[in-house]
Amino acid sequence: MIAGHLQEKKGLFYIVLNCKDAHGKRKPKWIPTGLKVKGNKKKAETMLQDARKNHYLEEQSQAEEAEKQAGNAKTTSSLDDNKRLFADYMLQWLEIMKNSIELITYISYSHAVKGRVEPYFREKGTMLEDLTTEDIQSFYTHEMDVRGVSDNTVIHYHANIRKALQNAVKIKLIVTNPADLVERPKKDTYVASFYNAEELNQLLAAIRGEKIELAVILASFYGLRRSEVVGLKWSAIDLVNRTITIKHTVTSGTLDGKFIEIESDRTKNKASRRTLPLVDTFYDLLIRMKEQQEVHRFSYGSSYCTDYMEYIYVNELGQRIKPGYITQNFPILLNKHGFRHIRYHDLRHSCASLLLASGISMKEVQEWLGHSDYATTANIYSHLEYNTKVSSAQIMSGVLKLK
């Protein structure tokens, strides 16, 4: 693998790869990371390793192409030329996808492919060109009947396999896509749990002053996702016009055994970037949190972490709250205070149910929650739009005389 190192320039990290030109002379390749030097060394090192690896793969690809053009490759059909294990092909496809999709999406793909698809078909020894619809169907049946995975998990496997095989068809490794004819299971319909107004008010009263208070308020009142809660910055708060703008997210995942956090100035979708009014209660909480952060920064001195000064949700030492902290500690909080169990994400559903019960239209709820389209909101919450049904019943009662 090519050698390389990190270089600091004007407060930013740059990747420098020790490349050579066609004459063998040293010609360094500079790649900007966009990362500030302070607090980002580990991220920069990870990007360096990825750059070295990608350059190596690029050189390998170029070498293979040169060999093929020189006539050293086989001249038989493209299928014979690329005969390989389906398991190997899935790993190669995963590597191809790495640079074309969001990292959090790649992590999801990686868990499915490396965790289940590749090991299963490697043990079977199935070749890519010999893969049949029945082989794929048997894999899904095995996962559900033997391992007990959910229908939704199998649908996730299917999406990866079908997409990978579609690419194999495109580059002429196979003639048709055997995944197209597979009978995949139907998606499980999740009916969300939610708290009513009384339960939410009791919850908010019970957690006042606790570390998880901010997360609960933002999810139950504003309907924010966990990634949006952790990613909220002080720059998103307009104290003059009393608004809060959702425009930055922080997600996390495990890739090849290593925990990583992903910061993004892009929300889940375009509609997720939204500006909401800053109510008095939340305004007061933010002022209190800002004062606490200043006190903690002064108290802990050099021990205080300054890497996350722009973020609102930090602990006493200035470290940003991890997404997993919310998910892990929310059920503990409910048990501690004797509340009915719901998921943390169900606070978002609770927000939607209260809005609908108060007569807010489905379209307005869509905009409040930041759903990408109206259909998403309607599919999840149509059974809660009770006021509309009451109005419809009253209209029908005036038209049809049932007595």
pLDDT at site 396: 45
The CA distance from 52 to 49, in Å, is: 5
Phi, psi of 52 (to 5 degrees): -60, -45
pLDDT at site 381: 64
Residue 349 Cα to chain centre, angstroms: 19
pLDDT at site 167: 95
pLDDT at site 68: 59
pLDDT at site 138: 96
The pLDDT tens digits for 106-138 are: 999 999 999 999 999 999 999 999 999 999 999
Residue 275 Cα to chain centre, angstroms: 21
Question: Between residues 18 and 316, which one has the greater pLDDT?
Answer: 316
The CA distance from 231 to 242, in Å, is: 19
The pLDDT tens digits for 174-221 are: 999 999 999 988 877 666 788 988 999 999 999 988 889 999 999 999
Predicted TM-score (pTM) above 0.75: no
pLDDT at site 214: 92
The CA distance from 169 to 35, in Å, is: 38
Q: Which of 4-13, 66-75, 308-317, 373-382 has the lowest mean pLDDT?
A: 66-75
Quick one: DSSP state of residue 44? H
- Helix/strand/coil percent split, the chain, to 5: 55, 15, 35
The CA distance from 28 to 16, in Å, is: 6
The CA distance from 14 to 5, in Å, is: 8
- Across the chain, mean pLDDT equals 84
Q: Over 80: is that where the pLDDT of 332 sits?
A: yes
- Find the mean pLDDT for residues 6-19: 83
The CA distance from 276 to 278, in Å, is: 7
- Evaluated on CA atoms 185, 346, 248, 365, the torsion sign reads positive
Question: Between residues 269 and 390, which one has the greater pLDDT?
Answer: 269
pLDDT at site 81: 47
Q: Over 80: is that where the pLDDT of 58 sits?
A: no
The pLDDT tens digits for 247-268 are: 899 998 888 888 888 888 866 6
What distances in angstroms separate CA 48 from CA 18, 42, 52, 172, one per listed residue?
Answer: 12, 10, 6, 33
With 0-12 / 13-18 / 19 or more C-beta atoms within 10 angstroms meaning exposed / middle / buried, residue 80 is exposed
The CA distance from 267 to 370, in Å, is: 9
Q: Which domains does the chain have, with CATH numbers?
A: 1-55 (no CATH), 76-188 (1.10.150.130), 197-389 (1.10.443.10)
